[in-house]
Amino acid sequence: MASFGEQIRKYRKAKKMTQDELAEAAGLHRVTLANYETGRKDNPSAENVAAIASALGVSILQLVGEESVSRTPELSDADVKFALFGGDAARITDEQFEEVKRFAKYIAQREAGK
């Protein structure tokens, strides 16, 4: 199985992104991203994993090598909650989460109408 750093590099190169571009998109320092890719730093926070996955357009499971990309990725509610709230995902109520989904749908529709 590929390491976390190898997974980042694989998806980054597939997106034709530089480390600088990915780091900026994920809100990380380039050195931090480079350290993940080279294996010098292999214990990323949940927030960093979620940010990198989001910036690459893959699921967290794909990024950590637990899910194949041969199918269209489906994000579960748990994936979305993890990406948004990290370790505190359990504190969001179902009603609050539905509101977040409605807002995301509104933003997507607004952007599509431009």
53-108 tens-digit pLDDT: 999 999 888 888 765 544 445 667 777 777 777 766 677 778 887 888 788 777 77
- Confidence class of residue 114 from pLDDT cuts 50, 70 and 90? low
For residue 69, the model assigns a pLDDT of 46
The number of distinct structural domains making up the chain is: 2
Please tell me whether residues 57 and 79 are part of one structural domain.
no
Per-residue HEC secondary structure of the chain comes to CCCHHHHHHHHHHHCCCCHHHHHHHHCCCHHHHHHHHHCCCCCCCHHHHHHHHHHHCCCHHHHCCCCCCCCCCCCCHHHHHHHHHHHHHHHCCHHHHHHHHHHHHHHHHHHHCC
pLDDT at 54 (0 to 100): 92
Note the pLDDT of residue 67: 55
Q: What pLDDT, on a 0 to 100 scale, did the predictor assign at position 81? A: 73
Q: Tens digit of pLDDT for each residue in 5-57?
A: 999 999 999 999 999 999 999 999 999 999 999 988 877 888 899 999 999 99
Same domain (yes/no): 55, 12:
yes
Expressed as residue numbers, the domain containing 112 is 75-114
Residues 60 and 101 in one domain: no
For residue 109, the model assigns a pLDDT of 78
